């Protein structure tokens, strides 16, 4: 398969699908867990030595099961918003996609803003969805109760539970590991997740009508990439700590962005700043799939929420604030209702030029992805089938020399195996 954009409205079932091992080893897996949900006991999610949650087939999967997994996996199929949705949008930008409204805003509740990791917008929306009766529960992620450096999926049925899960979580997160069970509940719900998780669920909706019947809202955060757990383990090594000593590992929050705070069972506490955590880009340990992501900005979400820092990084502690990109009519109704009810407050209207400055790294990535995927394909590697995300148009904003450099770089890295990863094995 190649990065050629098509307009197919249904997820095709591949005649010769990739195995789970091929998806993982070619660097296409993000560890969302949806394949585990579809294949059941035949697949186990494991934490690998590299610090990634990956699916491992316990027995050979039959071709129909693999075909369905290939049709929904966000590593093999990445689709933009339906054309009808795009045509309805007030604005459609080449890089940023459909936009009904674009503002700088935040949670109205000061506590939600403080506990959250930016402006608290996602937390406030999750709470409002529950309090207004629009959904019965919210599917999102939160710190593991038993291993607080790690992240696990959570179902929240009230506002207090949503607040308990507030704050950015870096590292692996299998948000969709039991998504079929979530659908089996037969209740309306909302999903707050990474853009790739929402891509996976939108893919599944083409095969399973329950998704559109029961998932009433999909809210994404603009994503800088999922790091390996080993990135977090480096922080522990800095302080001479072991993971089994921890009672708290807060990546950020309690401010904007807030400190990375660690607490141990015996009462010790350690802190480093957000900049100290991420100052060396060469040590971010971003997963391979993130480096070729064509949609880290939530094209297929109803609302996408970003940090609002000049040049993509905070000076020290910034005013609690989010960029809020309302993408669909459903998202606009929710946004307007949340503002009317006092759950959200708007600082001011924004625009494409400002969000492009605040999230300049996202603009660079969107412009680079077509060339990177083309380079991988030239190297003989499988790449995602990408539809409806204007990758060629984004690449046209670069010079030919820039695209050539991106393509050659990806080709060479792919040939050397740097865009892939080892077979999934448990630690």
> CB neighbours of 104 closer than 8 A, spacing ≥ 6?
308, 321, 322, 323, 324, 346, 347, 348, 349, 350
Angle at 230 between CA 224 and CA 231, to 5 degrees: 45
Instruction: Determine the Cα–Cα distance for residues 296 and 366; give it in Å rounded to an integer.
Output: 8
Average pLDDT over residues 204-224: 96
Phi first, then psi, for residue 218 (nearest 5°) are: -125, 120
Residue 87 has a pLDDT of: 63
Does the pLDDT at position 2 exceed 60?
Answer: no
Give the pLDDT confidence of 344-386 residue by residue, as tens digits: 999 999 999 999 999 999 999 999 999 999 999 999 999 999 9
Q: Are 106 and 342 in contact (CB under 8 A)?
A: no
In 91-117, which positions are buried (b, 16+ CB within 10 angstroms) versus exposed (e)?
A: eeeebbbbbbbbbbbbbbbeebbbbbb
Q: Judge whether residue 7 has pLDDT over 60.
A: no
Pairing of strands 137-143, 189-193: parallel
Please report which confidence band the pLDDT of residue 56 belongs to, taking 50, 70 and 90 as the band edges. Answer: very high
Angstrom distances, CA of residue 234 to CA of 151, 228, 284, 302, 331? 17, 10, 11, 36, 39
How many separate helices (H) and strands (E) can be counted in the chain? Answer: 17, 17
CA distances from 92 to 9, 19, 22, 202 (A): 19, 36, 35, 20
Q: Which two tokens stand for residue 189?
A: 């719900």
Between CA 134 and CA 137 the distance in angstroms is 9
pTM for this one? 0.94
Rg over alpha carbons for the chain, rounded to the nearest Å, is 20
What does residue 45 show for φ and ψ, rounded to 5 degrees? -90, 130
The number of CA neighbours under 13 Å toward the Cβ of 122 is 32
What's residue 102's pLDDT?
Answer: 98
Cross-strand bridge partners of residue 137: 189
Alpha helices, DSSP H, located in 59-119: 63-72, 83-88, 110-115
The pLDDT value recorded for residue 281 is 67
Mean pLDDT in residue range 404-422: 96
Only one residue has tokens 């005649």, namely 15
Identify the three-state secondary structure at position 52. coil
Q: Can you read off the two tokens belonging to residue 121?
A: 């917008």
- Report how far residue 390's alpha carbon sits from residue 147's, in angstroms, rounded to the nearest whole number: 40
Structure tokens at 260: 């990375």
For 11, the token pair is 């997820």
User: 149 falls in which pLDDT band (50, 70, 90)?
Assistant: very high
- At 6 the pLDDT is 39
Name which of 136, 197, 137, 134 is nearest 169 in CA terms.
197
CB 36 within 8 A of CB 417: no
Q: In the predicted model, is pLDDT for residue 3 greater than 80?
A: no
Classify strands 101-107 and 151-156 as parallel, antiparallel or unpaired. Answer: unpaired
Mean pLDDT of 1-17: 52
Cα(420)–Cα(414) distance, rounded to whole angstroms? Answer: 7
pLDDT in tens, 258-274: 999 999 999 999 999 99
Which three-class secondary structure state does DSSP give residue 205? Answer: helix
Model pLDDT for residues 273-330, shown as the tens digit of each residue: 998 988 776 678 999 999 999 999 999 999 999 999 876 678 778 889 999 999 999 9
Cβ atoms within 10 Å of 83's Cβ, excluding its own: 11
Q: Distance between CA atoms of 221 and 142, rounded to whole angstroms?
A: 14
Query: Which residue ranges make up each domain of the chain?
Result: 78-415
Mean pLDDT over all residues of the chain? 93
Whether the predicted pLDDT of 252 surpasses 70: yes
pLDDT tops 70 at residue 389:
yes
Report pLDDT for 312: 64
């Amino acid at each position: 398969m190649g990065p050629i954009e098509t307009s197919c409205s249904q997820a095709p079932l591949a005649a010769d699908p990739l195995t789970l091992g091929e998806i993982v080893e070619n660097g296409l897996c993000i560890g969302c867990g949806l394949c585990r949900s579809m294949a059941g006991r035949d697949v186990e999610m494991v934490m690998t030595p590299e610090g990634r949650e990956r699916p491992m087939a316990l027995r050979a999967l039959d071709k129909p099961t693999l075909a369905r997994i290939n049709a929904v996996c966000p590593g093999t199929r990445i689709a933009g918003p339906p054309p009808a949705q795009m045509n309805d949008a007030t604005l459609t930008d080449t890089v940023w996609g459909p936009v009904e409204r674009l503002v700088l805003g935040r949670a109205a509740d000061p506590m939600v803003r403080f506990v959250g990791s930016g402006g608290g917008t996602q937390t406030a929306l999750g709470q409002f969805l529950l309090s207004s009766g629009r959904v019965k529960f919210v599917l999102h992620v939160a710190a593991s109760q038993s291993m607080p450096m790690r992240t696990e999926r959570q179902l929240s049925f009230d506002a207090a539970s949503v607040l308990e899960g507030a704050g950015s979580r870096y590292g692996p997160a299998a948000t969709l590991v039991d998504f079929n069970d979530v659908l089996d509940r037969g209740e309306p719900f909302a999903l707050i997740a990474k853009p790739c998780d929402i891509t996976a669920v939108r893919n599944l909706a083409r095969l399973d009508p329950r998704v559109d019947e029961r998932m009433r809202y999909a809210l994404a955060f603009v994503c800088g990439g999922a790091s390996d757990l080993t990135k977090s383990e480096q922080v522990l090594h800095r302080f001479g700590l072991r993971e089994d000593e921890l009672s708290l590992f807060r990546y950020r929050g309690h401010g904007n962005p807030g400190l990375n705070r660690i607490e141990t069972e015996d009462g010790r506490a350690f802190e480093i700043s957000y900049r100290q955590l991420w100052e060396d880009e060469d040590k971010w340990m971003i997963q391979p799939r993130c480096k070729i992501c064509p949609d880290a900005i939530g094209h297929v979400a109803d609302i996408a929420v970003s940090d609002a820092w000049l040049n993509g990084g905070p000076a020290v502690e910034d005013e609690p604030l989010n960029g809020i990109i309302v993408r669909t009519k459903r998202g606009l109704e929710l946004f307007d209702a949340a503002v009317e009810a006092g759950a959200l407050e708007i600082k001011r209207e924004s625009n494409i030029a400002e969000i492009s400055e605040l999230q300049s790294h996202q603009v660079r990535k969107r412009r680079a992805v077509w060339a990177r995927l083309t380079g991988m394909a030239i190297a003989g590697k499988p790449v995602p089938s990408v539809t409806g995300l204007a990758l060629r148009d984004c690449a046209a904003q670069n010079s030919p020399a820039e695209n050539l450099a991106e393509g050659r770089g990806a080709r060479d890295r792919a040939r050397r195996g740097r865009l892939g990863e080892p077979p999934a094995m448990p630690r």
